[in-house]
Chains A and B, each alone.
Chain A
Amino acid sequence: MSTTTDVNVPSPTPPGTPRVPLGQRLQGLGGNARQYGIFGALVVIILLFQVLTDGKLLLANNVAALFQQNAYVMILAIGMVMVIVAGHIDLSVGSVVAFVGGVVAVTMRDPIGLPWIAAVLVGLAVGAMVGAWQGFWVAYVGIPAFIVTLAGMLVFRGLALVIVGETLAGLPPAFIRISKGSLPPWLNYVGNMDGVTLVIGALAVAAIVLTQVRARRSLRRHDLHVEALGLFVTKLAAIAVGIGILTVILSFSAGGTPIVLVIVGVLVVAYSFLMGRTVFGRHIYAIGGNRSAAALSGVSTRRVDFWIFVNMGLLAGVAAIVTTARAGAAIAAAGQNFELDAIAACFIGGAAVTGGIGRVSGAIVGALIMGVLNMGLSILSVDPAWQMAIKGFVLLLAVAFDLLNKRRAGTQ
């Protein structure tokens, strides 16, 4: 323990006093203990299915497919966790995915025939506009988000049907690559391993280690509390090993790094920063914790609410692009139950139903837990009906476990 530098910790326990029980020590880690728990659950589930499927789960192409199949959940869960932390909910994202997917397909096809990049930008803009529409009703009119987005669920599903009819196929191959493609092999292969993937993995590890070490050094320089060195090193080593394994597996896959993985990675980094390190993020947590206190403290709660929904719309637009590219066509029935997947990912990932608690990383891990379950059960050829039931149980268990833990720790 590096108690010598913990200036703000009361007084270090004098020698000979009873050791602090583990539960309390974990609690001392704050929200981190919970975060570690969720990561642990993911690792356990991966190992479980790795054994159950005789090692098929972590075959290179399965891992690549895992990301390609679940990118939409992760993208939506990032926006949803912000919505949930602020104490709202968004039931419309599935319908918005179908609607924006239709818009993107229509703009790319004749008679409009815009280039695919332009169509993507239109899709993002329309998504943000949908979000602004819903944000207006929630933030400035004061209608509960549950109602606004329930209406949105119907409205945008209806509009999707109007725009798309049944199916709009024949989309440009360059657009479809967004979901089905991988980064081109710019670099040589190392044996059978894709060089680009290895370089990206190495850069990711380096970037994480560097930022963490710098953050820690800066905390120490300002004489602020840092976590114990042993824990810090263990954490970094675990992250490095995790990314390392993922990198090596992916580098053996048919295409190397899926493009959607890059998209998700960039979003995770950007939104973790937004939620954890910016004033806007702090205000989202404040609003979810105590809306009236935030307002009394000078937080403009309406503006924050509004932008949370604009952002959710924007991310629904990204998910729409990914989903449409993956299907190779716009389908009016696309995005069915996507809102439920995203919401479940957030709650499995430790978000609180009452708002105020939740993290982007947690939501991503929640999405991965569900994705691994899906893939593992599919490899085991479990009936989809049973898959659904099992996922339901996992959601219930995850939240119940979290609650029990919290009670035992004595918080709230």
Chain B
Amino acid sequence: MTEATRTPLLSMRGISKRFGGVEALVGVDLEVHRGEVVALVGDNAAGKSTLAKMVAGVLTPDAGLIEIDGVPVTIPTPAAAHALGVATVFQELALCDNLDVTSNLFLGRELRDGRGARDDERMEQVARQILRDLTSRIPTVRVPLSHLSAGQRQAVAIARTLIGSPRLVVLDEPTASLSVAQTAEVLVHIEGLRDLGLGVVLISHNMTDVRSVADRVEVLRHGRNNGSFDARSTGYEHIIAAITGASRAATPRPVPLRS
């Protein structure tokens, strides 16, 4: 790959974070290049979302260095992340049920007209355009989020990453509640982002999705890097082994409650 020799779009080195007694991340490295989809996988509580939230400006690392396009950055707030060209779909979606689709799409980054006033009309036009392109099954952009299904809400969350031309898109389990058809659509969408030259971090538990769209798979285990694999050439079982930390996956046994 020629990109590998260039400056990575995102470079995280030696990232550590602890929450009280929990070591969520210990010296984690992660690199994402332009036009590359990096899947971040790992067991529950491996630290994937914690890492994503650092790029999104929600959490700050205790130690380590973050560089974007070779420039060392601190990302103290979500607004700072947005200014740096990072767009994130959070695992918890981060949508306001009382606001309509348009308001949610532009929340925190509302468009203003020439006089600095909120430009509702332009926002609604852009919202309709985006949702049409995503062929989402959302009836109108004026419907409040509380009226949408889980899948529709997830579509809105993904659509948010299209606002304001980002360089890096972080998706934390974006297909968790999507139908087969919609999941396929999101995967196509991710490929579209890659073709546009964006960097994508995809966090997912679904190995089929990961292998169909990712270029590289990074495994986290107990907050540490536990292997980096070429998505296409590496066998399924190798990745699973790195995730579980064993070549033979332990089978959970029922625990007898009474003897």
B95, B124, B139: the one contacting A290 at CB < 8 Å is: B95
> When the two chains form their complex, are residues A296 and B103 in contact, meaning their CB atoms are under 8 A apart?
no
A224, A278, A285: the one contacting B99 at CB < 8 Å is: A285
Residues of chain B lying within 8 A (CB to CB) of residue A285: 96, 98-99, 103
The CA of A278 and the CA of B117, in the complex, are separated in Å by 6
Shortest distance from the beta carbon of A134 to any chain B beta carbon, whole Å: 25
Shortest distance from the beta carbon of A361 to any chain B beta carbon, whole Å: 17
The CA of A288 and the CA of B99, in the complex, are separated in Å by 10
> When the two chains form their complex, are residues B107 and A297 in contact, meaning their CB atoms are under 8 A apart?
yes
Shortest distance from the beta carbon of B112 to any chain A beta carbon, whole Å: 7
Describe A's contact surface by its main secondary structure. loop
The CA of A375 and the CA of B72, in the complex, are separated in Å by 67
Which residue of chain A has its CB nearest to the CB of B160? A297
Residues of chain A lying within 8 A (CB to CB) of residue B77: 298, 300
> When the two chains form their complex, are residues B78 and A298 in contact, meaning their CB atoms are under 8 A apart?
yes
Shortest distance from the beta carbon of B197 to any chain A beta carbon, whole Å: 24
**Interface membership of B206, Cβ < 8 A:** no
> When the two chains form their complex, are residues A296 and B99 in contact, meaning their CB atoms are under 8 A apart?
no
> When the two chains form their complex, are residues A296 and B58 in contact, meaning their CB atoms are under 8 A apart?
yes
A218, A282, A286, A298: the one contacting B79 at CB < 8 Å is: A298
> When the two chains form their complex, are residues A294 and B139 in contact, meaning their CB atoms are under 8 A apart?
no
The CA of A298 and the CA of B80, in the complex, are separated in Å by 8
Which residue of chain A has its CB nearest to the CB of B140? A8
> When the two chains form their complex, are residues A294 and B120 in contact, meaning their CB atoms are under 8 A apart?
no
Please choose the segment from B3-11, B35-43, B142-150 that sits at the chain A interface, where 4 or more of its residues have CB less than 8 A away.
B142-150
> When the two chains form their complex, are residues A279 and B110 in contact, meaning their CB atoms are under 8 A apart?
yes
**Interface membership of B240, Cβ < 8 A:** no
The interface size of chain B toward A, counting residues with CB under 8 Å, comes to: 40
A279-B110, A412-B146 known; A293 and B96 CB under 8 Å? Answer: yes
Residues of chain A lying within 8 A (CB to CB) of residue B118: 277-279, 282
Interface members, chain A 207-261 (any B CB < 8 Å): 218-219, 222-225
**Interface membership of A295, Cβ < 8 A:** yes
> When the two chains form their complex, are residues A286 and B121 in contact, meaning their CB atoms are under 8 A apart?
no
Shortest distance from the beta carbon of A34 to any chain B beta carbon, whole Å: 12
Residues of chain B lying within 8 A (CB to CB) of residue A7: 128
A8-B141, A277-B120, A279-B110 known; A290 and B58 CB under 8 Å? Answer: no
> When the two chains form their complex, are residues B94 and A292 in contact, meaning their CB atoms are under 8 A apart?
yes
**Interface membership of B234, Cβ < 8 A:** no
**Interface membership of A14, Cβ < 8 A:** no
> When the two chains form their complex, are residues B108 and A289 in contact, meaning their CB atoms are under 8 A apart?
no
A293-B95, A295-B78, A357-B98 known; A10 and B110 CB under 8 Å? Answer: no
> When the two chains form their complex, are residues A288 and B95 in contact, meaning their CB atoms are under 8 A apart?
no
Residues of chain A lying within 8 A (CB to CB) of residue B79: 298, 300
The chain B residues found within 8 Å of chain A, CB to CB, are 56-58, 77-79, 81-82, 88, 90, 92-100, 103, 107-110, 112, 117-118, 120-122, 124-125, 128, 139-142, 144, 146-147
Instruction: Taking A223-B125, A279-B112, A293-B107 as given, write out 13 further A-B residue pairs in contact, using a Cβ cutoff of 8 Å, ordered by the A residue number.
Output: A7-B128, A9-B139, A9-B140, A279-B118, A282-B103, A286-B99, A286-B107, A289-B96, A293-B95, A297-B94, A298-B108, A300-B79, A357-B98
